[in-house]
Amino acid sequence: MREALQHARDAGDLGDVPIGAVVLDEDLRVIGAGRNVREQDGDPTGHAEVVALRAAAYTRGEWRLSGCTLVVTLEPCTMCAGAAVLSRVDRVVFGAYDEKAGAVGSLWDVVRDRRLNHRPEVLAGVLADESTALLDAFFAAHRG
C-alpha cells in the first residue's frame, strides 16, 4: 500500500486526483503500477486501477491475472471493480472507502456479486487514514 500511496502522491502533484494502485504477483512482487491519469491523458478510463492492471497484464503477457492482488488507495468504482473481476485477480486491497462512488461495499458490491463468475477476496481499510488525508488535502486545495 505504501507504494500505491506514492503513486497517488505523484498523481496529485501532476493535477490528477491522488489515487494510486499496484498489482502484486504471487510472490508479492510489483508487476504493474498506476496512478490516475484522467487529466493528464484526457482519458475517462485513466483510473489508477486500470493503468496498473494493464501494466500487469503486459508484464505477464496475458490478461488473466490469477494469483495477483490489486492494491489501491481508494475503493474502486464500478468500472475498476469490474476490471478487477474481469482480470481474475485473487484479491482487492484498498485504503479509503468511497461513499460517493465505491463499488466494493459502499454503494455497490460488484466484486462479491454472485451472478458473476469470479469473486476476488477483499481487504478494506489498509492505511485508510493516509489515503483519506491525501484526497482531503487535494480537494481542499482545488476548492479553496
Per-residue pLDDT reduced to its tens digit, 75-85: 999 999 999 99
**68 has binding-site annotation:** no
Cell of residue 108, nine digits? 455497490
49 in active site: yes
Low-confidence ranges of the chain (pLDDT < 50): none
pLDDT score, position 112: 94
pLDDT score, position 144: 64
Distance of alpha carbon 90 from alpha carbon 85, whole angstroms:
9
pTM here?
Answer: 0.96
Q: Which of 49, 75, 99, 121 is catalytic?
A: 49
CA atoms within 13 A of residue 21's CA, in its CB half-sphere: 32
